[in-house]
Structure 1
Amino acid sequence: MESGEMANEVEKLINGDLKELLIAKEDFMQFREIWLNHEKKDQIIGEAKHNGEVVFRYQTFAE
């Protein structure tokens, strides 16, 4: 997956168009850079799966 495509997927996740985003092991380091530089990174929660995959979900904080 390309960086631009990953960034678009992150925005879809935040906007609620996606419930979760699956990142493959080979794409993780590229995704990590996008994730760490995003202003809402603390609300994008990752859950490790088998074979190095990570599922990310967006969590809204109650005010």
Structure 2
Amino acid sequence: MDKTDFTDQLQKLKDGELNELTVQPNDFMVFQEAFMDFDARKRVVGAAQKGGTVVYTFEKDQKE
């Protein structure tokens, strides 16, 4: 995956088209670039899994 792919995935996560986004350890640095440029990154929450995989979800507002 490249930065554009991760940017698209983050937007889908925000829009509710994806429930979660899984990032493998070998893709983390590319993901990090997209993540740092993402406008709603403070609402993206990651949970580390065994083996270095991270599963990200998006926190919705109470109103949403």
TM above 0.5, one fold? yes
- Give the drift of 1:21: 0.2
- Unpaired runs of 5+ residues, structure 2, are none
Provide, for residues 23-62 of structure 1, a one-character-per-residue CA deviation record: whole Å limited to 9, x for no partner.
Answer: 0000011101111221101000011001110000000233
Question: In percent, how many aligned pairs have the same letter?
Answer: 27
Instruction: Supply the distance in 2 between the matched residues of 1:38 and 1:45 (Cα, whole angstroms).
Output: 13
Number of equivalent positions:
63
1:1-63 matches, within 5 Å, as: 1-62=1-62
- Unpaired runs of 5+ residues, structure 1, are none
| 2:60 aligned counterpart, secondary structure | coil
Amino acid at match of 1:30: V
Runs of 4+ in 1 over 2 A off after TM superposition: none
